[in-house]
Amino acid sequence: MLTAGICRWLYRQGVKVAPFKAQNMSNNSAVTPDGGEIGRAQVLQAAACGLEPSVRFNPVLLKPGSEHSSQVVVLGQPTGQVTAGNYRSLKAELSGTVFSTLDSLRAEYDVVVCEGAGSPAEINLREGDFVNMGLARAANIPAIVVGDIDRGGVFAALYGTLALLDPEDQALIRGFVINKFRGSRSLLDPGLDMISARTGRPVLGVLPFSQDLWLDGEDSLSYRDGAVLGRPTPPLGPDGLSVAVIRLPRISNATDAEALAAEPGVTVRLTSNPADVAAADLVVLPGSKATVADLAWLRDMGLAAPLAARAAEGRPILAICGGYQMLAGSITDHVESASGQVPGLGLLPSRITFAETKTLSRPTGTALGHPVTGYEIHYGQAETTGDPLITLADGTPEGLRHGSIWGTHWHGLLENNAFRRAFLAEVAATAGRAFVPAPDTDFAALRLRQLDLLGDLVAEYLDTDLLQSILDSSR
């Protein structure tokens, strides 16, 4: 988020700026215009720079499929699976791609703002590192250490981070930023003075916590079981709508539900509680990086029964990507889980077969009479009978609408304002709620307002003269 804020601050000054994250580990991803896959955080950062997303902004993406292995995506394309052990052997090869990609961006843009990953003081991972100080050393990039005060112990974290680095890495640390502060800044000043005196490095500023910054979570850790998304506001009509998003263990693109949470009167809660699934006006079954494993978890948690009961009662369910696959009659998977054929929940007239090649696309079409855009990231291919949810621009059907169940492989569908209003109107009618969709909620504008808020926070709370001098020193 701070990277996005600095990017926005520069962009609004007319600077040609681009974001860069050498390696991201996240199942929240998106498709670039050239058909590649990158982390959603870099999509947000690109928007802060006024740019379309590019695979160059996130050359290495790791997508965890279990506790022990991840899919590796290089320059937007999947290249295989790795474990923590054998990933070390890939580092040298990947670092060459990362360094050359950064070189190309530096040649094209006035400024490149590089985000690290995790902590620069993960000393067990320093050998072969190309993401944090390894990147900074290779490209002679000045670095700022950011501490999240919400987690506690921020002064020890800042001091300890610097102390654990090698002298050559320490030489690149130009200062500190404290993030998510609540309360009176004057109470913090003695600590700021002391950390600067003991390290010989300035604190560039203290950013306040802002409740308005909630869109586009970087990864699944941003979406906790039991959490309410966004900042719910009162409904326009007599009734609101309750939405339960099933918090799968390997949830992917949980950001899909954020457009619902932006609507007045719609309360969106992440949950793994069967009672919540039974009671909600709408249930969203989101994407998954491990469809078969998460389907087994869903059954073990007792969530299959309330989903089946909702279908039998004609109560709304929206299933997206991996969730859409789980509702099929059968799933044949020799690719992602190597499980062969397993029974799905059988709530949609469809069969899923996992292909060897991943679908990465940004299609357009029509749904509920409105033009829509979205993006697809999946191996599973659907064979369906029944009414499609979306008709693509070339006439090809996509997804299903089967009674009160809506299913699609598309991510981002709910970000289409007109479709979202029509969808919520139908959900409300089916649920028997006197809910009135807001006529003017504009999700894209909401995202831009968040980016401008980030730029405002950087301009107001950071020492931008010092930040500019750090930038100038790296030319």
Identify the helix (H) or strand (E) that includes residue 287. strand 287-288
Could you tell me the pTM of the whole model? 0.92
Would strands 251-252 and 287-288 be described as parallel, antiparallel, or unpaired? antiparallel
CA 167 to chain centroid: 35
Phi, psi for residue 183 in degrees, rounded to 5: 115, -160
Residue at 85: amino acid letter: G
Nearest to 61 by CA among 144, 120, 117: 117
pLDDT of residue 220: 62
- Structure-token match 């498709």, residue found: 31
Q: How far apart are CA 319 and CA 407, in angstroms?
A: 5
How many C-beta atoms surround the C-beta of residue 189 within 10 A?
12
pLDDT of residue 254: 86
| Strand runs labelled E in 152-280 | 173-181, 203-208, 241-246, 251-252, 266-271
pLDDT of residue 219: 65
CA torsion 434-435-439-441 (nearest 10°) is: 170
Burial class, 125, CB count within 10 angstroms (exposed 0-12 / middle 13-18 / buried 19+): middle
Given a contact cutoff of 8 angstroms between Cβ atoms, the answer to whether 297 and 248 are in contact is yes
pLDDT of residue 224: 80
CA torsion 231-218-64-141 (nearest 10°) is: -160
Given a contact cutoff of 8 angstroms between Cβ atoms, the answer to whether 56 and 37 are in contact is no
Residue at 293: amino acid letter: A
How many C-beta atoms surround the C-beta of residue 388 within 10 A?
17
Given a contact cutoff of 8 angstroms between Cβ atoms, the answer to whether 44 and 216 are in contact is yes
pLDDT of residue 87: 79
Nearest to 433 by CA among 235, 201, 239: 239
Tokens of 49: 């720079």
What is the CATH number that goes with domain 220-445? 3.40.50.880
Given a contact cutoff of 8 angstroms between Cβ atoms, the answer to whether 353 and 332 are in contact is yes
In the chain, what are the domain boundaries?
A: 2-214+447-473, 220-445
**What architecture is domain 2-214+447-473?**
3-Layer(aba) Sandwich (3.40)
pLDDT of residue 239: 96
Residuewise pLDDT in 10s, the chain (475 residues) = 999 999 999 999 999 999 999 999 998 899 999 899 999 999 999 999 999 999 999 999 999 887 778 899 999 999 988 887 777 788 888 999 999 999 999 999 999 999 999 899 999 889 999 999 999 999 999 999 999 998 899 999 999 999 999 999 999 999 999 999 998 889 999 999 999 999 999 999 999 999 888 887 776 667 788 889 988 999 999 999 999 999 999 999 989 999 999 999 999 999 999 999 999 999 999 999 999 999 999 999 999 999 999 999 999 999 999 999 999 999 999 998 999 999 999 999 999 999 999 999 999 999 999 999 999 999 999 999 999 999 999 999 999 999 999 999 999 999 999 999 999 999 999 999 999 999 999 999 999 999 999 999 999 999 999 999 999 988 7
Phi, psi for residue 265 in degrees, rounded to 5: 85, 0
Q: Do domains 2-214+447-473 and 220-445 have the same CATH topology?
A: yes
Given a contact cutoff of 8 angstroms between Cβ atoms, the answer to whether 25 and 219 are in contact is yes
Determine the straight-line distance between the first and last CA of the chain, rounded to whole angstroms. 24
Nearest to 238 by CA among 473, 433, 471, 386: 433
So which residues are the catalytic ones? 321, 411
